[in-house]
Amino acid sequence: MTISPRILRLATAAFLAVLLVASPLAVRAGHFGFRGGAVGGISVDGEGVVREAQVASQNQLREAMERELKKATGDMKNPVGFRWISLKNLHAAIVDSRANNHKEIPDEIRYLAGLTRIQFVVAMPEEGDILLGGPAEGWRIDRKANVVGITSGRPILQLDDLLVALRSAHRARTEGISCSIDPTPEGLQQFAKVQKAIGGQFSNEAVQALQDAMGQYKISLQGVPGDSHFARTLVAADVHMKRLAMKIDPSPIPQLPSYLDLVKNSTKISSSPRWWLACNYDAVLKSEDGLTWQLQGQGVKCLTEDDIANADGTVTRTGKSSPKAQEWANLMTKHFDALSLKNTAFADLRNVMDLCVIAAIIEKEGLADKVGLSIPLITSSDSELKTQIWAIPTKTAAQCTALQSAGRIVLTTSGGVQVDSWQVAANVETSAKVAEIREKAGEYQPKSWWWQPAN
C-alpha cells in the first residue's frame, strides 16, 4: 500500500513512561520485590530500555501490592484539608521502626500519612521542629498499580521522594534537577539518509524503516539518583506528555486534543517541535517572622520551542515556537489539573516538584539551623536509610505514527522536565495572613509524627 506524500505526516516521539519491578537486592525504607509501585504502567528491562508493560504483568504487580499493602486506619483514612507531619518525630519513628521492625518501614510512614500534596512549612523553634502540611486521605491501589487516595484518586506522596528532595536540595541549586529524552546523533543521521532514499513514496514499510532508522532515544537525568522512584517520576511525565502530543496515546480529557489534531489542516507547522514541563508557581508566601511558608499555584506548566534536526545528527535550538506547538503547550498548562486527575504520572510530577520547592525553602532559609533540628537519617546522602533501587532508564525506542496532514515530516527531537525549585523559592512575598497557618496546626503533639487539627 502506498501513502501519498500529500497526506503523510510522520510524528516521531520518544517512547515511554516509566516503571518496573524493583531489584530483588534492593533494601529500602520498607519492602522488596513487587513493592515498587507503578508509574504509568511501564516496565524497564535489565539494559535500561523502557517498554510498555504487558497487561498480565501489570495485573500481577497490582495483585501483589494489594496483598501486601497495609491500608490507613482510624483518623488517617479520612480525607482532610490539613494533616501535619513533624520532621523531628518522623525521624524518631523511622529510627524506632528500623530498630524494632527488622529495618522495615511501615506503610503509614512510607506513604507519609496519606498526604496528597505538601503546601505548608512551619518552623517551630520552641519545639526544635519543622512541620509539613497539606491535604491527606487514606490510600488504595489503582488499576495501574499506583498508590492513590481512596477519595480523590490522586497519588499519595512517598517517603522515598521526600528523602531524595531533601538530600538533593544543594545539588538542585548548583546543578538543577532535570530529565531529558533525546534522539542520538547517529539516529538523526540514519533518519535523514532513509528519508532521502525513500523520496516522496511512503509505504507502510517505509514508515517502519524511518522508525527503525531513528533507533533508541537517550534518557538523561540530572540532580537526582537515576535509580530512584523520583527519577522515574520525571521520566514518566516527560514520556506521557510526548505520547499525548503525538497521538500515540489518546487524550483522557476532551479539552486537550493532540498536537497532530491541531495541525492536521494547517500548512504552517513546525518540523521539530520540542515540549518540556517546568515549575509553575505563584510567589511563595511567608510570614513576617519567616517561620511559616505557603506554596501557591498549580505547580506545573508546559513550554515549547522549535528545533531543527540537521542531517549531520546535530540539533539546532531556534529560541522560537510555532503557533500550533505553542497552542498545544498552552492547552496542556491550562488543563493540567484535569489531566492530572486522569493520568497519575502528571500528579506525581507535581508532588515531587512540591517536595523540591519545600526542600529548597528549608535549605535556602536555614530553617533546620534556626530551630535546632538534626535529622541525618532523613537528610544525609550517606544515611543508612536507603531509597529503593530501580533499574535506571537509559533509553527508549522511537515510535512513528502516520496520518493525514500537510505532507510534511515532523520530528520531536527532544523534551524533558526542568525543576527550578530554587528559582521558585526565591520568588517570595511577605503576608501577615500566612502566620495564621501556625494556628491551624493545632496543639503540637510531641509524641506523634503526624496529626490533624480537631476542627
Q: Quick one: pLDDT at residue 268?
A: 63
Residues 6+ apart with CB under 8 A from 313: 184, 185, 186, 187, 188, 189
pLDDT for 370-401, tens place per residue? 999 999 999 999 999 999 988 888 988 776 66
Q: Quick one: pLDDT at residue 47?
A: 75
pLDDT for 75-118, tens place per residue? 999 999 999 999 999 999 999 999 987 778 999 999 999 999 99
CB 19 within 8 A of CB 392: no
User: What mean pLDDT is predicted for residues 319-325?
Assistant: 79
Mean pLDDT of the chain: 83
Least confident of 62-71, 272-281, 400-409, 413-422: 400-409
Q: Quick one: pLDDT at residue 205?
A: 77
CB 20 within 8 A of CB 54: no
Q: Quick one: pLDDT at residue 161?
A: 97
147-149 and 408-411: which strand pairing?
unpaired
pLDDT for 186-211, tens place per residue? 988 888 888 788 776 666 677 778 78
On the question of pLDDT at 242 being above 60, the answer is yes
On the question of pLDDT at 285 being above 90, the answer is yes
pLDDT for 137-171, tens place per residue? 999 998 888 899 999 999 999 999 999 999 999 99
Percent of the chain at pLDDT > 90 equals 54
pLDDT for 390-436, tens place per residue? 888 898 877 666 554 545 555 555 678 999 999 999 999 999 999 88
User: What mean pLDDT is predicted for residues 167-189?
Assistant: 92
Report CA 269 to chain centroid distance, whole Å.
29
Residues 6+ apart with CB under 8 A from 436: none
